[in-house]
Amino acid sequence: MHNPSPLTPYPATVTKIVDETGDVKTFTVEFDDPEVMENFGNKPGQVAQLSVFGEGEATISITSAPTRGKFLEFSVRRVGRLTNVLHQIEVGQKIGVRGPYGNWFPYDKMKGKDLFFIGGGIALAPIRSLIDFALSDQYRKDFGKVEILYGARSYMDLCFKHDLFERWPKCPNTQVYTTLDRPEEGWDGHVGFVPNYVEEVNPSPKNKVAIICGPPIMIKFTLAAMEKLKFNDEQIITTLEMKMKCGIGKCGRCNIGSKYVCVDGPVFNLAQLKQLPPEF
Amino acid sequence: MDSRVVSKAQLPELLDKLARDYILVAPVHEEETVTLFKKVSGANEVQLDYTNSDVSPKGCLFPQTEKTISYTYTGDTLDMKEAAEPPKTALFGVRPCDIKSILALDPVFEGKFLDSYYLDKRKNTVIIGLSCSKVLSTCFCTAFNSGPCDGSGADLMFTELGDKYYVEVNTDKGSSLVEAYSQFFGKQDTEQLAKAKEEQAKKLEGQFTRKVDLEGVKQVLDENFELPYWDKVFKKCLGCGICTFVCPTCHCFDIFDYVTGEVSGDRFRCWDSCMFPDFTLMAGGHNPRPSKKERVRNRFMHKLKYHLDRYNLEGCVGCGRCISKCPVNIDITQIIKDLKEVGQNA
């Protein structure tokens, strides 16, 4: 009896495609064998490898919470070779999925606390799994207030508009703050960069966890803002992106020091990040 | 530990028999000056007049290029075929440094996600080591608590002594092979031969010209990620990647698809190198190791620190290949010495 092959993907079918922005699409994917989904066991914050046969694989965060249903959602920005190909596929096409890989947001330790999500651009995708998990009927009682602060360059660049403006604001004890980098005709909401908006909203660090994901420059200034607001390093959680091939800690390229982001990450709190060499 | 004797005159016949019953992988010469491990059909192809092969035998367990799946996708149906279970293999003539490198690779491919490609081959391969009879100027295995006659990790360890091979039987796998070919494995004089082997080992250990002392090196690296030293070392590196290609403990790989027909293709994994700029380059353009400085540092940190941190095993085995093959004479033993000095001056 030989071991099951860890690099063989499960066959799956794309059942829905949503155009989020000019260069971001969200793919809903269902496994061809329903039993695979039963045993997949993805937790909020984990990633998977998507295959387009003949083209290769890319590591994409699972943007749906396991509480949403028997499917996976992947929000993909068209940015490289494989994602270009992904953007050309149509509903009904078969792709490969393997995973789930990596650690997850430590939601057990967040129980009883308020959650403050901060995202910029496409980077709402990796934390959306935890937002939906915390807002689900099953787990809503485990968490306090849920706040989501999200920004993008323009209205067109906002991902998950349905979630931001329809679904999430209707959830109990939940508040959504949306901002655009620049003023725009027809936009009467907040204008300004995410880090400044965080300071304006002025969240108290008391019994709160901040979950941050965004482009490096946004993270840098947001962390400075969080420090001003007296959040400590254990209260700040983020998720990293690295080039990955195997997803299972063997191919060697996603290391930061002795840690592999694909198995030891992608989720780290700021205290853990500060222990790592600044090579990410 | 059990031990046996094989007469030198009978080795070709034993190898022929092994080649018949197993896939026999052994050292061969290519283009006269290159020695590497290949599948052979009999003893006549095996070349034992080498000190260390140019390319390590790791490819027997972790091939340079390896198919992971074959697929056909017609648009309606998707089929994937995985690799068949690997055949029984005898890996013959492995030097102590390379045996040790296999032990260093094992935990990489074990762990939470079992790497069937490597582990199935590992399970089906019997490793027959061969003690060194010479020491190269680039050898420094003694720095890693090993030595030219160290058979730990091999299933069987052969040591050439006059007209005989002294054979240490280290594992059940080795023992089964001895039993199956018992006509070749005598029991006479093993005690004297064991002593002769010890003497041989001592004699060879005295011939090492590189004295490498690792004491304190890991500590320097534990305490310092940024060192002015790294601004110097990388300058002559060409980024050619030969060090990673010949390294017996390097395990980085890439995965890519190869289209074979309109509806079919294969997926492969193949050796990759952390010395290449696009190894860590992300689709969006960000590269966490953008220059040779970071890449060279990462390679030596991996060998001297990260592997130890992760698996509690040395990431270098002192085979010396990266030293002898580097076109610009980057020398890991010099780097070890320099880092030690950096630590002492800190």
Domain ranges of chain A: 10-101, 107-239
> Mean pLDDT, to the nearest integer, of B257-283?
95
Return the structure tokens found at A268.
């780290």
Q: β-pairing, A259-260 with A255-256?
A: antiparallel
Distance from CA of A2 to the nearest CA of B (A): 6
> Mean pLDDT, to the nearest integer, of A95-113?
97
Q: What are the pLDDT digits (tens) for B124-164?
A: 999 999 999 999 999 999 999 999 999 999 999 999 999 99
Residue B87 confidence (pLDDT)? 95
A219 to chain B: which residues are within 8 Å by CB? none
Contact A251 B272 (CB under 8 A): yes
Residue A3 confidence (pLDDT)? 57
Q: Which sequence spans correspond to the domains of chain B?
A: 2-205, 217-345
ipTM field: 0.93
Q: What are the pLDDT digits (tens) for B110-120?
A: 999 999 999 99
Contact A251 B294 (CB under 8 A): no
This prediction has a pTM of 0.94
Q: Kindly report the number of other CB atoms within 10 A of residue B291's CB atom.
A: 12
Distance from CA of B156 to the nearest CA of A (A): 24
What is the dotted CATH code of the domain comprising A10-101?
A: 2.40.30.10
Contacts of A115 (CB under 8 A, 6+ apart): A130, A131, A134, A143, A144, A145, A146, A147, A208, A209, A211
Return the structure tokens found at B174.
């080795």
Distance CA B176, CA A26 (A): 56
**Any chain A CB within 8 A of the CB of B221?**
no
> Mean pLDDT, to the nearest integer, of B67-74?
94
Distance CA A82, CA A57 (A): 7
Residue B31 confidence (pLDDT)? 83
Contact B225 A94 (CB under 8 A): no
**What residues form DSSP beta bridges with B161?**
B164
pLDDT over 70 (residue B217): yes
Distance CA A275, CA B294 (A): 18
Sign of CA dihedral B235, B240, B246, B251: positive
Q: Considering only alpha carbons, which residue of chain B is nearest residue A49?
A: B255
Return the structure tokens found at B185.
């494995």
Q: Considering only alpha carbons, which residue of chain B is nearest residue A247?
A: B113
Q: β-pairing, B2-7 with B164-169?
A: antiparallel
Contact A6 B265 (CB under 8 A): no
Return the structure tokens found at A89.
């596929």
What is the dotted CATH code of the domain comprising A107-239?
A: 3.40.50.80
Nearest to B306 among A96, A243, A255 (CB): A255
Q: What are the pLDDT digits (tens) for A234-272?
A: 999 999 999 999 999 999 999 999 999 999 999 999 999
